[in-house]
Amino acid sequence: MGIRRAHDAMQNAGAQAVSIDIANAFNSIPRDEILNGLDIAQVPRTMRNYIASFLQLRHGLHLHEVPQGDPLSMLLYCLGHSSRRSEVISRPYSHTRTTFSLSTMTPRMRMR
């Protein structure tokens, strides 16, 4: 069903397909983006500082990575990407590792 829906969506003018490989997703998100996501979500300063300490204590020399296996990992990963969610505009359709958007994409999101 997902493939048929994707095919039908791509027949419309302006439809695009983007393949997203999420391997090592937690290892690739910059910690600054996680903290920015916390600010956007208006997380209280005390909690934000706790999370910043949590990230720094795990890997003091690395600027990327969310500690895997920790209950906060998925939340922090999602908050880190919250500032990018407006880049895929309109009605995105997602199935497995491919996202289809029925509108234009920002230059930053275009395939190179």
- Reported as a pLDDT band with limits 50, 70 and 90, residue 101 is very low
pLDDT in tens, 29-85: 788 888 888 888 888 898 888 888 877 765 445 455 666 666 777 777 777 766 555
Please report, for the chain, the start and end positions of each structural domain, with discontinuous segments joined by +.
2-109
Residue 70, both tokens: 């920790």
pLDDT at 22: 62
Global confidence as pTM: 0.38
Of 2 and 37, which is predicted with more confidence?
A: 37
Residues 6+ apart with CB under 8 A from 79: 34, 37, 38, 40, 41, 43
